[in-house]
Each structure stands twice: as C-alpha cells, then as structure tokens.
Structure 1
Amino acid sequence: MNDNDNLIFLLGPTNTGKTYYAIEKMLTFSNGIIGLPLRLLAREVYDRVAEKIGKLKVALITGEEQISPKTAKYFITTVEAMPSEKYFEFLAVDEIQLCNDFERGHIFTDRLLNSRGTLETLFLGSDSMEKIIKRIFLNPNILKKERRSNISFIGKKAILSLPKRSAIIAFNSNDVYSIASKIKSVKGGAAIVMGSLSPQTRNSQVAMFEEGTVDYIVATDAIGMGLNLNIKNVAFSSLYKFDGKESRLLKNNEIGQIAGRAGRNNSDGSFCTTLNCNSLSSEAIKALENHNYDANEYLFWRESNLDFSNINNLIRSLEKKSNDPKLIKTQNKRDENILKYLSSLDLIKNRLNDQKNIKLLWDISLIPDYFKNLDSMFSDLLVKIFCSIVDTGLLNCNWAISETRKLQDLEGTIDMLTFRLAKTRFWNYISNRNHWTNNNKELKTLALETEKFLSDALHQRLTNEFVDKKIRLFLREYNLKKSIEIKIGEGNLIFLNEKNIGSISGFQLKIDDEKTLFKNKFLKKEISNKVRLVLEKFARNFINEKSFHINFDNEANVYVNKRKIGSIYQGTSLFKPNLIIINNNYLDEKTYTEIFKKVKKEIEEKIQKIFWGENDFSNLKNKNIKSFLFSIEKNFGIIEKNQIEVGLIPESKYEKSELSKREIFFGKHLFYYKNLINENNRDIRWILGCIYFNGKVLGKAPKNKIIFDASNFSKSLLHLTGYIKIKNFGIEIIFLEKIINKIYSKKRRLFYFNYSILNQFNIPSYIIVEILIYLDFARIAGTSNVSYWKKKKKNNFEKSYYNKNSPFYVLKKLQ
C-alpha cells in the first residue's frame, strides 16, 4: 500500500490520553468524525464535545440513537455506524486493535483499510498493532504515547478485602448480578455497567460510583473500551470469555486493556483476581505491569465490495477469502447465517427479484441481535420487516408503534425489564433507519421515550437490588474496609475493628445491635466465625486456670470471679444441684463439656466446704457414730438431743473426738455442724437450700437472730442456715443455745421466769413461752409478770423402747 503522510497511527497502552488527543485534534479541523467501539463510549465523547462546542455543531450516530442537527460539523459514532457516504477532513477510529477481535474484527479492519479523512486520518490503539501495521503499510507514521501512571498486581483478594474504587469484571450478566449481590452483602452496594444497558441506565449507574454513593462497580469487559471512570483497582472474577464461538482464556493484551482502566491520569492503579478466578502467571503479571503484549499477527477481514446481482453471488462474495495471509476471513458468520436462513424461506425467496431487495435483506441481516438466544422471535421480526418494506415501500410503522407501546410495562424481574429494554433498543435501531420509516417521528419519539422510561425503571431496580444504603452506613460506622477483626477488650467487651459491638457474659456473646449487625448473612457468617475463634481462646484460658472463685446470687445465677457464667436448679441432692452454662452456640461441644465439668466439680467441692462433706459410712465401725452421722445428715446438719434414742447418744471420749473431727458441735440441746453457724457462707447456704427444697430462691437469706414469721420456710431449709424452727418462728441455734444455757444455769426442780430473761435477750414473752414448751417444760402457775415451769418427766416405759420410725432404730436393725 502507498505511503500516506496524512495517515497517522497513535499507539500506546491505556491511560495515555489517546482519545482526548483525537478529540482535540478533530476540533482543529472544520469538520471531522470519530468512530468508537461502544455506544456507551460514543455517548460519553459526544457529551464532552457538545459541552465544549455546543450541541448544534456535533452529531451522535449509533445503531440505536441519532442526534444529527443540520448544522453539525463533527460526528461521534460507533465504528459500525460510521457513514460511508459522507466525507470529512478528519477521520479517527479508536481501539483499532479490535481488528483482531473474533466478533467485530472484520468491521475494524475494513475501517483500517478503507476509511480515510480528506486531510488527516488517525487510528488509535494498542502497541500490539505496531508490527502488523508496519507489514501492511509502507513507512507508516506511528506516534507512541506512554502511560501516565503505573499499574501493579496486588494478588488475589477476597470480596471483603477489595479496596475501595474497585471495578469487578465478569463476562456475562448472570455473573455480574451474582457478584453485585455479594458486594452488596459485604460492602453495601455496587453499580452495574454492561454493554446491554442503555446509555441512560449506564450513566445513572456510573453516577452512583463517581459521586461516591457506592465504592464498587461490577462490569463486563465493556468497561475496558475507553470508559473514563475514577477506578483505582480492577479485580477479575474470571479470565475466560465467550467470544461468540467458544469460551477461551483472555489474551494478555485483552486483560491489559481492562486492567488499564485502573489509575487514571497521573494516579497509579492496581489489578487483582478475586472469587474463583485462576491465578495469573508471573510472566503474565510482568507483561501486564510493563504493557508488553504479543504483537497481533493477523487481522480478521471480510470482503466489503459485495455483489448484489443475486442472492447466491452475494453469499459467494461474503464467503470470499483474502489473498493476503495477514487478513483472515472472519469466523463470526452470524449475519451471514441469518442471510442464508432468511433467503431460504419461501416468503422471502419470492421477493428477492432485484438488487434493491437483496441489498435490503442484507441490511436487515446486519441488525444486531439484541434478544440473544431467542432466534425464532428475532428472525420472525426480521421477516415481517422485510416483507413490509418490500410490499409497501416502507415499514408498517403502525405495527412497529404498537409493538413498542407493549414494552412500556414495569412489572417483573430485572431480567424481564432488561429484555424489554433490549427489545426497545431493537425498535430504536429500526426507527433510525429513516429510509425504512420515512423518518417517522412518532415511532422515533416513542422508542426513545420507552427506552428512557424503561432505563429509569431499570436503574431504580438495579439500585434497589444491589445497593443497601443502611449497610453502607453500617460498614462505614464499623470501619469494615478490608477485613473483619474481632477481639476481646477490657471488661470482656467485644470489639469489631476497634468499635465496641457487645460483650461476653460468661461464655455467651451479647451483641448490642444484633438485628442490624446480623441482617446481612455474609457479615453474620464472617463475624460469627471470628467470634467463635476468639471465644474458644477465651474459654480455653478459663479451662487452664488453676483456681477461681465461685459464687451465687439470689436468682441462682453462678458467678466465676464475679463473672456470670450460668445458673443452678434443683438436682437429685443438696450436694449436687443441676448446672446450666450459658452460651449461644459459639463454643464447640468439647469445650462446653470441659467448662461444664470444671465448674460443676468446683461447685460440688464448694458445697461440701460450706456444709459438710458427704460421709462415707462403709469405713465406720462404731455403730453409734454411724447412726449419729446418718441421723444428722437426714436432718440437714442439726439434730435435737431428744430426737436421739436413749443409749445411742455419743457419750464416750472416742465418739465425741471422732465427731468433733467432723466439725460437729455438741450443745446443751442441739448437735450441729459448725459450718452452719458460719455467717460468711449463710447467703450461699440459703440459696442452695432454697433451690433444693423449693426450686427457687425465696428472697434474701435471714440475718436476724429471730425470724418472727417462718411459716413459709421448712424446718430443713432453716437448718441449713443455722436456724431451728419452733412453731412458726425460727431462731438462730447459737442464740437458742444461749437461752437454753440461761434456763439451765441453775439446778432446780421448779423454774420461774420474769422480765429479766426477756430483757436480757430482748425477746417477746411469747417466744420464751414457745421455747420452754419446745424444751418439754410445763407451766405450773404464774401471772403475766412471772411464771413457774417444771420439766416434764419421761416414764420408764418410753425409755425402754426404740422409736421404730427413728433412723437410729433402722440402722440398729440393719446392723
């Protein structure tokens, strides 16, 4: 090919300012055109140029949208929509490396070989095109641009660890939506960018990202085609893409084109992998960081000089191969296959009687397939359109308008809205074929209005589905940027990333705002797992403690070192209450069992210390001692002297010595365990006694010498707290012993009592009367001031026989 001084190739990686350069260059000419790879990018550039020079001077032409003032001097188009009938002083095509693209390469190659400006032609693209450009063009004028910032690989990142201002790349809509849901759950939300979105929906979504409403964007590889966003990191969820023929691994230059969106202008960027994405090799990482990609060895091509003399000649010309080995016949035959299918139908075959109709059928075959995988619906529409135009000279616009109106329905899922929007884009494309519709304003306006209507609704639906503002506020408040860190602070407070979220009560986690915190399933799972590890460590430290202090409160709660860990309830015996360790399933079963056994053992040892040890009678040979211990335990630590059968009261020095070793006190009238008069443990004895006898704690433990109303307390319960029950009052055993000692202080046959004893002990007269009756005294005579009493005598007959209900008698028989 001949050398052309006006043909310029501007090559370089992403973020070199190539597109900006082309725009500025175009505006130095009196007219010009720029072909861009995406409708989204075309709209972005159009908005930028229109803002700079005014809307009357600039036109936007894409397959689905046309804004073309009569005064327009500068045309912004998609590459496919570049008009061949117009001539411009300046012509530019962006992303020319797409000549090597399986789906659209032949279109870019046609522009490369055949499109020219009258004064200057500028092709923009990757360095990977340099080698083949030099092979095709003689002494090409190649300008190189360096990237204005660096990009670096930061490894594989979990969704939670992705830095802010990340774009997560997927290659189909299902994956985009799935990833957006994950981002919502851990980051509060994401914007969506896909080639299938309308410009309005895309712009609304991008605006959320650019304004900081969301910090993440999930996109297809459409984002790699020059869209200028404030992205700091690009994360690949996959390195495989379906290219229209098969699912294949991306080439390094394709990865680089997308990764290059990170770090705009002079700000450095990064790229990474995430989710189930395969790892990048060290060679690939080095190539991507240095923008060093394999050169393109060939370009996809298709014959552009088509023969419309008849349908067979058209098909043959489309199937023609190039004689140049650098130009490979395109393998993407979707439009060719549609042409063959339509031309085989009798309904159409009968109408292919001139070149005009054959050309029309080819133009209809080129209509983009917006429906994807709904071939019958798409082909049926194409048939109706062709027949309508051939038969009447124009499309039946009333039918097209009716079909478009049906799409103004907001019911259904995101996929249904997206499908309606895709169908609307189809009618937008049709409405912009002015020679088919006679520039029908109603159809064009309706299609645009319907697209706007559906675009607004889709944006709102996407936002509702993939953005949770409450979670975003929550994540910001709890500083959940890169990771979840749980730790236990002073006072057993639980901290999530330095912010207090609750506390550990015993071995139970209490979260202050659990409803909000655990609303999100992902966060609930992540936080729960972290808490479980921390709580396990906390529990293990407790298990390894050699000693600790156990206590109880009036609600039967168990405290270890002043920390509530559980509660007790009625067990099979006083010495073995049942225990519950409070937890909310953060401890594993083994750890819980170890804690339970340790605490239960400690409780049982404490009970024996504050009461008395359970007696082992098997090693006792002395019958009196064995019978006595059996009886005093049966009476819960206190036994009255007159309850013991004659002859079985321990009298010998040995018996008293052995019982004293067991901390038993021998009083004038009562025998009891000394622990029962220990005031330090009275509260605990009361709590344990209430639990065993009543199943609940009956208020606070009594502290006074006399309980004037003990009607609700059993005799045995009062024994455990050092009281004797007489009638309906209780009296401390030490106090009672003092009164008894006073009564028996002088040996006499007749006892008299006056106010002296009442004043000495500060008790009412009826108390002393009941005590005397309890001691088996009988009143002989007296007044209210003084009374005379005499001890009752037991007859010999009563003394000679055992009480057959007595435990002493039972043991005697067993022995």
Structure 2
Amino acid sequence: MRAQSRITAVLGPTNTGKTHYAIERMLAHRTGVIGLPLRLLAREVYDRIVEKRGPSVVALVTGEERIVPERTQYWVCTVEAMPLEIGADFVAIDEIQLCADPERGHVFTDRLLNARGLQETLLLGSDTMRGAIAALEPRAQFISRPRLSQLAWAGSKKISRMPPRSAIVGFSVESVYAIAELIRRQKGGCAVVMGALSPRTRNAQVALYQNGDVDYLVATDAIGMGLNLDINHVAFSSTVKFDGRRMRPLIPNELAQIAGRAGRHMNNGTFGVTGEARPLPEEVIDAIENHRFEPVRKLQWRNANLAFGSVERLIGSLEQQTQHDWLTRVRDADDLLALKTLAEMPGIRGTVAAGQEVRLLWDVCRIPDFRGISGNEHAGLLERIFGFLRAGAPIPDDWLGRNIARIDRTDGDIDALSKRLAYIRTWTYVAQRRGWTGDESHWRNETRAVEDRLSDALHARLTQRFVDRRTSVLLRRLKQKETLVAEVNDKGEVTVEGEFIGRLEGFRFRQDASTSPDEARTLRQASLQVLRPEFHLRADRFYNAPDTEIDYTEQGGLMWGTQAVGKLVAGPEAMRPQVEAFVDEEAGPEVAEKVRRRLQHFIDRKVNALFEPLLNLQRDETMTGLARGFAFRMVESLGILPREQVAQEVKDLDQEARSVLRKHGLRFGQFTIFLPLLLKPAPTRLRLVLWSLAQGLQEFPESPPPGLVTIPNLREVPREHYLLAGYRPAGARAIRIDMLERLADLLRAKDSRAGFEATPDMLSITGMTLEQFADLMQGLGYKAEKGERAKQKPAAAVAEVAPVVDGQPTETAVSAPADPAADPETPSEAGSEDAAPAETASAETIPQPAAAEEEAVASVQADASSDDAEGAPAEAAELEVFYSFTWAPRPRNAGQRGDRGAGRSGGGRQARAGSAQQPGGEQPAAGPGGEGQAQHARQGGKPRRDGGGKNDRFGGKPKGKDGKPRAPQNEARTYSAKPPRQDRIDPDNPFAVLAALKDRK
C-alpha cells in the first residue's frame, strides 16, 4: 500500500498556506502523522488540531513532551520523534528543505526517503527542493503555491524609527537581549522569541505581541520556521550567524525564509536591516522579492541501517559513506561524538555486550545536550545514566529526584532561569523514554511541572525586563481609540487602566519620574486625555469646599488639605494680597479661573476676619485730622508701632483723638502702640506673611510658637521681624510686647533712682528666673547690681516683722500698680479693655521668690543668734542671690548695633524719636517720668529744677549750675536715698484740670 500511496510535494515561498493545507489533508484521513521542524511549531499545530477534533484523539510527541491519548488518531511530532511503524494513512513532513541543514539535515533526508503514509504523503517546503525530490522520488507530484502577499525591500532603519508590528532578528542571545532593552526604552517594550524557550514561555511571549500589548518582536531565526505571526516588517540586525562550528553569512534562501514572516495572509510585508547590519546586495534583494534561489544540490545523509553487533560496528555504520549523487554524509553529530567518547571510557570499552546493550548505549547517547556544556561533562552524565539502565533497573528515584530538585527554583535572573530550563529539558527527555524510570507517569508530570514553573518565571522576568506594561497598555488603547479609564485615589495616585502613571497634586499632574523620555511622552499623552474631566470635577469640589479645608503656609503657599494649589503674591496694599493658582495648562482656562477665584475669596475672608479691628480702624470715616493720620500709620504697620517711631505724633494727639482710637481697641503702651487682638497667633502668622509679600522677600520669617512669653534674641534676626511677631528684644531674649507693657505697669510703681528688687509678679509675668530677668532689665536700660545675703526664713517665722525702708515701715505685699491717672496713655493691665489674653509662662523658666528687706532679715538673724548663744555654735547662715535695679541713663552715642547685652554694662544704643531702634539697646519709658517726659526733653523742654531732669536721665545734654552743658555720663547715675519726687501729671491729661482746681483751692 505504501508503494501505491500518493506522494505530493507542495512547494513555494513562505505565506502560501502550506501547513494549513497539510492539516486539512490529514484531517481528511482516518489517521495521520505530521512531522514539524520545531517543538514550538509542533505545539502550535497540535493546539489547532485539538480545537477541531478534541484532545482525546490527538497526540503530541516531541523530545521533551509526550501526550498520547488511548484513542489517538492524529500524531503531531517533531521530525526526530515521528513514529514510522504505526501504519498511518497520512504522513506529512514540513520544511523539507532542511534536508540540506548541516546539523539536522540527515533526519529530514531519512524521512524524505523512508516516511510514507498508506494513502497519502505530503512533502512541504521551498521550491529549491524540486530537483532533489524529483531525483529521489520519481513518483512525486508537484504543486506550486504562490505567495498570498507581496514582500518588498524597505532599506535600513534605525530601531528608534522602526514601524509598529515589526520583528527584529538577531542570531545570538546577547544581541536579542540588547535589542530588546533598547526597544523597551524607546518603544515601551517587546516580546522575545528564541528556540531555546519552552513552548509555554514562547506562547506567553507571542501572546504579548499578538494581543497588541507590545508592537515589537525580537527573535532569533526560530521565527523563520512556520510561526504564523502578524508581522508587517522584518529587520535583520545581522546577516551572519554561528552554525555551531563557525561564523558564516546567511545564504539568500535562509534570509528569505526569515523575511517571509512579514506580511501574513493577504497583507503585504517588508524586510530590511537595522543596527550594524549592512544593506543587502541588489541580487539578494531581487532573489528574496521574487522567490528565486539556487536549487539544493546536496542533501545531508547518514546511514539509517545501523549495526548493533558491537560499539565499534555501530560507530562504523554511522560513519558509512554514500556514493549517491544527491547525498553527502553529514558531519559527526552530537550523538555520534558522545558515542565515541563513551566508547573510550574504561567502564564501557570492551564490556558492552552485543545487541541490546549496544542499542541501549546508542539510545542514551541520543540524549540531546540541551545544557550546552562541554562534551566530556555531557558524556559523564550519559555514562551515569547508562550505568543505571545497564543493570536492568530503572534510574533510581532518589538520584533523579535530587537532580530535579536542584533545578526546581524560580529565583534568579533571565540567564539563571534559562539555564535551569535547559537542564530540566534533559530530564524531561529522560522521563519520556519508556522503561527508563520506575514511575513514568510521575516523573513525566514532575518534570513537566518544573518546566512550567520555570517557564512562567522566565516569561515574568522577560516581561519585567523588556516590557513596560504601563506604556504598552496605554499605547494599545490609544491606538484603538478606546476610552481610557483613569482613577485618582485618596493619595493622589493616578492610574490609567490600572497602571500607575503619576500623582495629581492639587491641579498639577506630576508624572512618574522613572520613565524614559520616550515613555514620558506616551504617558503624558495618555494621562492628559483622561485627566481633563478629572480636573473639572476636582475644580467643582474645590470651589464648593469650606474654608476649613483651605489654609496658607508661613511661606505664602495656599494648601487644599495637603496639596499645594497656589501661592500668595503682593497686591496693591499689604492687606489686599492676590493669589496665583497652580493649575496645569492642559486643565484649561476655565479650571484655572475657578481655582483662582476660590483662593481669592478664601484669603480675602481670612484677612477680613483676622484683621477686623485694623480694617474697622481704616474704614472709620468719622476720624479726622491727626487721628485719621495716626490710624493710617497703624494700618501701614499692620497694627504694631514702636512708640519711639511715632513719639511726636503721639504727643500731638489730643485726648479726643486718643479716645476715638482707643474705641477701636488701640493701646498706647509705654514701649509699643498696638491692637491687642492682633497679637494672637493667627493674626501674627498672617501679618508676617503679608508684610513679607509687601517687602518682596524670598524667605519669609516664621512666627514663634504660640504661648511663649519670651523667645531667644538671635543676632541674625532683624529687629523688625521680632516686632512683627509681637516681641521686643531686650538682652538675650525678646519679650512679648503686651507682657512688657504689664511689666512696665509694675515698674512704674517702683523708684528706679533709689533702686528696687524684682517681685514675684514681675518674674511671673516674664516667666523668667532671677538671672534671666536681670538680663532682660539690662536690655531695657537698667543697671543690675548683684548681691548676696542671708536667706530669709519661712514666712511664718517673720510674719510679725515689718520691713523697714529708708527708716519707714512698709508692707511686705507687692504694691499695687499706679493709678491709671498717673499716665493716661498706659492704663493699668488689671481690668483694662486693652489687655491681651492671659498667657502661659515659658516652660524653661521657674519664677524665684521675692527678696526680703535687709532690715527684716537682720532682725531674724539677731533672733537666731540669741537662740544659739546658749547651745552649740550657730550654723552658718544660708545665702541667697539678689539683684538691685536702678535706671542707667546712656550717653547719646554709646550704643552699638547687635549688642544683645548692652544693658549689662550700663551702655546701649541711641534712642531717637522717629527712627527704628536696634535689638537690646532701646531707651525704655519705664524709667522715672515715663516716655512722655523723655520725649518732652528730646523736643527741647527745660531741665528740671533739681538737676535730675529728663534730658539728664535719658541721654540728653543736661546743664550744670553755670548753665553750660555737662559731658555725658557713661556710668549709671547714683541718686540720693531721699524719698522720690512725685511725677507731674501730663498737661494733656484730663486729670490735669482737676489738679489745677485743687491748687486754686
């Protein structure tokens, strides 16, 4: 029947439908066998037949896979694994032109000569085999199939300009990886196909390409063997390859086999070169385009009638020569080289018996060297396997299991996984052989499972390394013009189709910085398409958001929650700042304007709420004259003015004007004129921002933490910053101006000429220790004299002792502040409507108890001495430190900028009306007579009759008895201990009228 079977050679170029024709013909028969050149192609054809006939009747047999159902009708195999003795009705051999291949050609030649179906035999391949087939099989009939599409030369192209749906061909693993990495950076990714990949990995990579996840394929010449892919262009990165022995140029029909993958079915295709490959010669291009090649003259052949009488005879039969004109003996293949190596080993040479042992040895030598290791190492493995099988027992499970377990690891990079896949292919081949293992089904499943795990891991590594899935998915959706789905989570992370592309910060999109420039453009294109509606939705939410969700920073930024949405910029006036919205141009002018309006509304309301007292002062149209001008000065200074800067203006204000100003909450302090409500943390924070904007500063001063009475006086911080923050520098620290005014009220009740000590109220107000308070007082212009004395006993022991000062008994309690009438410009803190909210003392200080008077202490000490007279010697009295403060007038030119401790030596800065003072050297108004008297002296007022007038005490030029000016004194004046003279009432004060009436009486 085989002699009578029909033999047909279906020849033609690629994309002629030859394989499809063979499948249709095989399914027309009851049984059939088709031999294919690659394991990958066999798996593809197997899947196609299973779809039509079901898995129960289709077998897949390759060197590493064996799926054979009980009712098998159709066998899909690699050419080497074709069953030749089953008597199938139909037999087909694909890619028959591989008979001329130097490595595997002898197997195809053997099938050409010996494989026949009972009814029909098909030989599929290139038209170059027409003469050889006709010579070797005279009964063969020929069918020529034309190419379904055109194939044209496209020249040389850079990889960066490679068109979509292209395949770039390399001929080494290194070149494939290098090209794939370049395409990932420039095009978003590619699929990788190599002959060494397992079918599972190859199918997964092909699916990436076929599904459109990537538009580029990088492959070896494995794609030239029947893989049907939707490729429009094939580019050769090289035109030479290593054939196992040497580097050689590809011949035209090999180039055509690969280039023919471009243009499937009715779609035309192109081919060209890229990278370092030189353009093809004109004659080669013409041959590929017109499918005209030199016919095959010689087929590779090896004797198939083997002699198993001995190892030597087997080797001799394999080396047998041929005299046929169309055949040439193939060079020694890997299996023959392995047989020769084993034959020389001591354990095998001369010990292998004829017949079954020689046949077994040959079967072991045919195990492929998938690992690609040295010949001797591979031969050592074959010797070990042959030793197990020679004894008549299968390969031991424990030995086989250990070898497989060493490979069953999915960690590592692409190279490590590729090596493990090559190793497992060896054991997969062993497990497929009948009788070689104890439990064939178990070890076939085990090796298959390990290969699948390694294949999946390798696919994941290839995809991770060579595919930017994010970019490829977006490109595919954009190309298909589908609506992309974008999401923004609560962290602002933007995902498109599940892929992270960046963050949305307010109304600005921050693209993921880990992308290459080409990827960045693609991401930007995709993100803007989906973010435009998101911008509008977010703008609507922002416009309707309450003010509590919006805030400003101390550097002028505008925040919506934790996201920056704009910044403050200088406006026409300090209290009328403008806003600049942070909105991407792609969001559109409508979104930008809506965001800007909402921010402007927020800051306008914030200024109106926090600066209401100041704005009311500015808008009061009932004020006229000097009061209106003074109100303008307050608005211009944002609610805080050093008194020395406006001393003349204060002097010129009459009581009616002052009363109008006080109705708006303005307080005329001895050191500062201010609005107490504007000293709260929120207005202070905003005042610093508004002032910085008006001054055009790049770095804004920050407000101190709320609740601190004093803060460090840093040399590098300008005095003006302290003032705007509501503090006045004095010595090593700066004290809050409202607390300083409370301290001034207490100091006004003391005699600064005779000297006084700190009271617990003074220390409590400042929140300082005694030493810190002494430094503060020196900074305010007082002289502090340190002394020691016996420590006072507890209050219960001296409760009946009345202190004596200047020979007059006094009370131990702290004197109440002076009557507000004594200085109408600085009303007492107690019960005053100008008083700031109660504050918390600095946590770093602990107030010290007030010092007792020397007389009381002396009395107590005398009593203690008398008590101890009759007993043991009295214990030494415990000493305590105290400070005595006196007003220290300063010479006009004694100050120096930046001296925080100027008051410690009695010196200081010049305090001049209308000019800004520097930290630590100002002239306080807390000395005798107050600021009003000091100003009166600076304006040319006459000296007091007692020679201790204002000019004398505040650094002016006092005159002696002869009328000539005396030289300024650099040291603190020592005054007599007589009772202090009562200060005069300010003539501008309404209480002056009452005093005049009393004098008349």
TM-score by length of 2: 0.49
Alignment partners' CA distance in 1, 2:354 and 2:106 = 27
The more displaced of 92-101 and 171-180 is: 171-180
Match of 2:120 in 1: 120
Match of 2:515 in 1: 519
Specify the code of the residue in structure 2 equivalent to 1:153: W
Is residue 299–residue 327 contact of structure 1 (8 Å, CA) maintained in 2? yes
- Residue 353 (structure 1) shift: 1.6
Match of 1:200 in 2: 200
Match of 1:168 in 2: 168
- Residue 6 (structure 1) shift: 1.2
Alignment partners' CA distance in 2, 1:240 and 1:522 = 31
Alignment partners' CA distance in 2, 1:275 and 1:163 = 15
- Residue 236 (structure 1) shift: 1.2
Could you give the per-residue CA deviations for residues 720-769 of structure 1, whole angstroms, max 9, x where no partner exists? xxxxxx99689xxxxxxxxxxxxxxxxxxxxxxxxxxxxxxxxxxxxxxx
- Residue 224 (structure 1) shift: 0.9
Is residue 341–residue 376 contact of structure 2 (8 Å, CA) maintained in 1? no
Show the 5 A alignment for 1:393-472: 393-437=393-437, 440-472=440-472
Match of 1:42 in 2: 42
- Residue 374 (structure 1) shift: 4.2
Alignment partners' CA distance in 2, 1:300 and 1:458 = 35
Alignment partners' CA distance in 2, 1:304 and 1:478 = 58
Alignment partners' CA distance in 1, 2:72 and 2:467 = 40
Specify the code of the residue in structure 2 equivalent to 1:263: G
Is residue 151–residue 260 contact of structure 1 (8 Å, CA) maintained in 2? yes
Is residue 432–residue 439 contact of structure 1 (8 Å, CA) maintained in 2? no
Specify the code of the residue in structure 2 equivalent to 1:310: S
- Residue 8 (structure 1) shift: 1.0
Rate the CA distance shift 1:99–1:513 in 2: closer, same or farther, 3 A.
farther
Alignment partners' CA distance in 1, 2:107 and 2:454 = 30
Rate the CA distance shift 1:332–1:186 in 2: closer, same or farther, 3 A.
farther
Alignment partners' CA distance in 2, 1:413 and 1:351 = 44
Is residue 397–residue 438 contact of structure 2 (8 Å, CA) maintained in 1? no
Is residue 300–residue 327 contact of structure 1 (8 Å, CA) maintained in 2? yes
Alignment partners' CA distance in 2, 1:398 and 1:346 = 26
- Residue 243 (structure 1) shift: 1.2
Rate the CA distance shift 1:231–1:460 in 2: closer, same or farther, 3 A.
same
Rate the CA distance shift 1:525–1:30 in 2: closer, same or farther, 3 A.
closer
Is residue 64–residue 428 contact of structure 1 (8 Å, CA) maintained in 2? yes
Alignment partners' CA distance in 2, 1:474 and 1:22 = 40
Alignment partners' CA distance in 2, 1:333 and 1:525 = 52
Rate the CA distance shift 1:26–1:472 in 2: closer, same or farther, 3 A.
closer
Specify the code of the residue in structure 2 equivalent to 1:425: R
Rate the CA distance shift 1:521–1:247 in 2: closer, same or farther, 3 A.
farther
Is residue 37–residue 79 contact of structure 1 (8 Å, CA) maintained in 2? yes
Match of 2:712 in 1: none
Match of 1:137 in 2: 137
Match of 2:150 in 1: 150
Rate the CA distance shift 1:139–1:449 in 2: closer, same or farther, 3 A.
closer
Match of 2:392 in 1: 392
Is residue 388–residue 394 contact of structure 2 (8 Å, CA) maintained in 1? yes
Identity among equivalent pairs (%): 43
Could you give the per-residue CA deviations for residues 420-466 of structure 1, whole angstroms, max 9, x where no partner exists? 11111111111110132256222111111111111111111211111
Rate the CA distance shift 1:68–1:270 in 2: closer, same or farther, 3 A.
same
Point out where structure 2 has 5 or more consecutive residues left out of the alignment.
Answer: 482-500, 502-507, 524-694, 697-717, 722-911, 917-938, 942-1001
Alignment partners' CA distance in 2, 1:526 and 1:315 = 62
Alignment partners' CA distance in 2, 1:261 and 1:292 = 17
Rate the CA distance shift 1:267–1:387 in 2: closer, same or farther, 3 A.
same
Rate the CA distance shift 1:348–1:150 in 2: closer, same or farther, 3 A.
same
Alignment partners' CA distance in 2, 1:217 and 1:402 = 37
Could you give the per-residue CA deviations for residues 548-597 of structure 1, whole angstroms, max 9, x where no partner exists? xxxxxxxxxxxxxxxxxxxxxxxxxxxxxxxxxxxxxxxxxxxxxxxxxx
- Residue 473 (structure 1) shift: 5.3
Rate the CA distance shift 1:453–1:131 in 2: closer, same or farther, 3 A.
same
Rate the CA distance shift 1:211–1:325 in 2: closer, same or farther, 3 A.
same
Is residue 102–residue 244 contact of structure 1 (8 Å, CA) maintained in 2? no
- Residue 139 (structure 1) shift: 5.6
- Residue 229 (structure 1) shift: 1.4
Q: Which structure is larger by alpha-carbon Rg, 1 or 2?
A: 2
Specify the code of the residue in structure 1 equivalent to 2:57: K
- Residue 521 (structure 1) shift: 6.9
- Residue 375 (structure 1) shift: 3.7
Match of 2:365 in 1: 365
Is residue 5–residue 118 contact of structure 2 (8 Å, CA) maintained in 1? no
Alignment partners' CA distance in 2, 1:351 and 1:190 = 54
Is residue 10–residue 144 contact of structure 1 (8 Å, CA) maintained in 2? yes
Could you give the per-residue CA deviations for residues 680-739 of structure 1, whole angstroms, max 9, x where no partner exists? xxxxxx99xxxxxxxx9x99xxxxxxxxxxxxxxxxxxxxxxxxxx99689xxxxxxxxx
Aligned-residue CA RMSD in angstroms?
4.6
Rate the CA distance shift 1:329–1:234 in 2: closer, same or farther, 3 A.
same
Q: Higher relative contact order by CA 8 Å / sep ≥ 6: 1 or 2?
A: 1
- Residue 402 (structure 1) shift: 2.8
Is residue 475–residue 522 contact of structure 2 (8 Å, CA) maintained in 1? no
Q: Does the residue aligned with 1:86 lie in a helix, a strand or coil?
A: coil
Match of 1:23 in 2: 23
Alignment partners' CA distance in 1, 2:513 and 2:295 = 52
Q: Does the residue aligned with 1:434 lie in a helix, a strand or coil?
A: coil
Rate the CA distance shift 1:323–1:65 in 2: closer, same or farther, 3 A.
same
Q: Does the residue aligned with 1:392 lie in a helix, a strand or coil?
A: coil
Specify the code of the residue in structure 2 equivalent to 1:148: L
Alignment partners' CA distance in 1, 2:353 and 2:46 = 41
Q: Does the residue aligned with 2:347 lie in a helix, a strand or coil?
A: helix
Rate the CA distance shift 1:260–1:352 in 2: closer, same or farther, 3 A.
same
Alignment partners' CA distance in 2, 1:111 and 1:476 = 45
Is residue 168–residue 219 contact of structure 2 (8 Å, CA) maintained in 1? yes
Specify the code of the residue in structure 2 equivalent to 1:231: I
Q: Does the residue aligned with 1:347 lie in a helix, a strand or coil?
A: coil
Point out where structure 1 has 5 or more consecutive residues left out of the alignment.
Answer: 482-500, 502-511, 528-685, 688-695, 700-725, 731-772, 780-815
Match of 1:291 in 2: 291
Rate the CA distance shift 1:522–1:7 in 2: closer, same or farther, 3 A.
same
Match of 1:571 in 2: none
- Residue 163 (structure 1) shift: 1.4
Specify the code of the residue in structure 1 equivalent to 2:31: N
Number of aligned residue pairs: 551
Alignment partners' CA distance in 1, 2:174 and 2:226 = 24
Match of 1:617 in 2: none
Alignment partners' CA distance in 2, 1:287 and 1:57 = 42
